[in-house]
């Protein structure tokens, strides 16, 4: 198949360190090429791929101080991808951009699918975004979890494809040091790193935090200064920085558990799959798609939201879990191969429907 993948311009594909959407797009693109498809990736000019790379901007927009509210570069990016796809006679376009691209995608003569990588909860996103989804609800959408559909059942969902990681690039560790807990993510209130610090302190364990602090997000900076920074202390709670794959791999593998006290209904959670790939169980509040990722009492613990006592008690029980089960879960459900198989089936389904029109 001739496939055009539209990644983000906000970060490099794949990201040098922290990043979700761009990592998933990279993993999918590389696997599609490996399986013999002719793939063109629209991404930043400094992206790395074995597909053909086309770009309308040389590097991550945020690194040049472009505000998240800017629409120009994204619209140009998508418009060029559509023009190119029509020019080469592509079979399908896979759009990974957000709501801001849907109006442009409606102009495409080439069949396409959309994956929205963020939340669709009307309580958490602006009203104009919901109106956009309602306006273009008949486009073809692929969810990253079954949960993601709950708040947007009006969309034309054609498949679910769980985000996939390169499981083989993560080292399974059945004999970890297990002398610390780990938190991985972005310093933002909804991911609740302050609670991770508090829970680790309650059980007397050190917490390591591999995290990104987004300098373009004032609310995140304010939260970090008020709720996280005062709690950081050597040997108690340590921020090891925004780490690359090799460092992250080692941090996951040697941790007793990944603590994930989220305060929002996350539609997937890539760090959960990564942690399990290393054999490290996950303790999280049972919100969003967490129940689709974690087998409670087998690959981690799903805690009733806001039950802090149960969360802390779970830390004391996590060493009893079989780390091999965690690895198998990642291999079976969240591998690049499994994700690509799901997407290819969705592409074929959309193309067949398009032929029938």
Give tens-digit pLDDT for 223-271. 999 999 999 999 999 999 999 999 999 999 999 999 999 999 999 999 9
Domains of the chain (ranges, CATH numbers) = 2-164+335-356 (3.40.50.2000), 167-333 (3.40.50.2000)
Average pLDDT over the chain, rounded to an integer: 95
Residue 215 has pLDDT above 80, yes or no: yes
- Which pLDDT score, from 0 to 100, does residue 40 have? 98
State residue 70's pLDDT score: 86
The whole-number average pLDDT for the span 133-161 is 97
pLDDT band of 357, cuts 50, 70, 90: low
Taking 90 as the threshold, does the pLDDT of residue 217 lie above it? no
Given a contact cutoff of 8 angstroms between Cβ atoms, the answer to whether 116 and 98 are in contact is yes
**pLDDT of 69 strictly over 90:** no
| pLDDT beyond 70 at 119 | yes
pLDDT at 337 over 80: yes
Q: What is the CB neighbour count within 10 angstroms for residue 73?
A: 15
pLDDT in tens, 164-200: 999 999 999 999 999 999 999 999 999 999 999 999 9
**pLDDT of 52 strictly over 80:** yes
The DSSP letter of residue 17 is: S
Nearest CA to 17 among 169, 177, 243, 230?
A: 243
Cβ atoms of residues 334 and 165 within 8 Å: yes
Model confidence at 86: pLDDT above 90: yes
User: Can you give the pTM of this predicted structure?
Assistant: 0.93
pLDDT band at residue 319 using 50, 70 and 90 as cut-offs: very high
- Reading across the β-sheet that carries 52-54, which strands appear in turn? 52-54, 38-42, 2-6, 92-95, 112-115, 140-143, 156-160
Q: How many angstroms separate the Cα of 285 from the Cα of each of 164, 223, 228, 259?
A: 22, 21, 20, 9
Give the burial string for 315-331 (b: 16+ CB within 10 Å, else e): beebeebebeebbbbbb
């Amino acid at each position: 198949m001739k496939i055009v993948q539209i990644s983000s311009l906000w970060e490099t594909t794949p990201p040098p360190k922290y990043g979700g959407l761009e990592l998933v797009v990279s993993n999918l693109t590389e696997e599609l090429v490996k399986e013999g498809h002719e793939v063109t990736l629209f991404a930043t000019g400094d992206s790395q791929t074995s597909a053909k790379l086309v770009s309308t901007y040389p590097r991550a927009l945020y690194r040049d101080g472009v505000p998240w509210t800017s629409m120009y570069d994204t619209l140009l990016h998508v418009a060029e991808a559509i023009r190119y796809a029509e020019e080469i006679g592509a079979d399908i376009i896979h759009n990974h951009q957000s709501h801001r691209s849907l109006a442009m995608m409606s102009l495409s003569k080439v069949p396409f699918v959309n994956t929205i990588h963020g939340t669709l909860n009307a309580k958490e996103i602006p009203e104009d975004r919901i109106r956009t989804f309602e306006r273009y609800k008949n486009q073809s959408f692929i969810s990253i979890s079954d949960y993601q559909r709950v708040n947007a059942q009006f969309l034309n969902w054609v498949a679910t494809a769980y985000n996939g990681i390169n499981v083989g690039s993560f080292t399974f560790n059945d004999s970890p040091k297990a002398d610390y807990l780990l938190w991985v993510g972005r310093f933002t209130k909804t991911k609740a790193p302050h609670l991770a610090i508090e829970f680790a302190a309650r059980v007397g364990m050190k917490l390591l935090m591999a995290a990104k602090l987004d300098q373009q997000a004032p609310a995140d900076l304010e939260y970090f200064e008020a709720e996280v920074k005062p709690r950081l202390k050597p040997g108690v709670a340590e921020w090891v920085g925004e780490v690359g794959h090799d460092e992250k791999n080692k941090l996951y593998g040697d941790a007793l558990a990944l603590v994930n006290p989220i305060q929002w209904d996350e539609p997937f959670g890539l760090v959960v799959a990564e942690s399990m790939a290393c054999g490290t169980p996950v303790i999280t509040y049972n919100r969003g798609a967490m129940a689709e990722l974690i087998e409670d009492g087998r690959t981690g613990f799903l805690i009733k939201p806001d039950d802090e006592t149960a969360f802390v008690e779970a830390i004391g029980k996590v060493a009893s879990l079989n780390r091999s089960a965690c690895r198998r879960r990642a291999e079976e459900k969240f591998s690049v191969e499994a994700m690509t198989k799901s997407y290819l089936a969705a592409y074929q389904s959309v193309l067949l429907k398009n032929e029938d029109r």
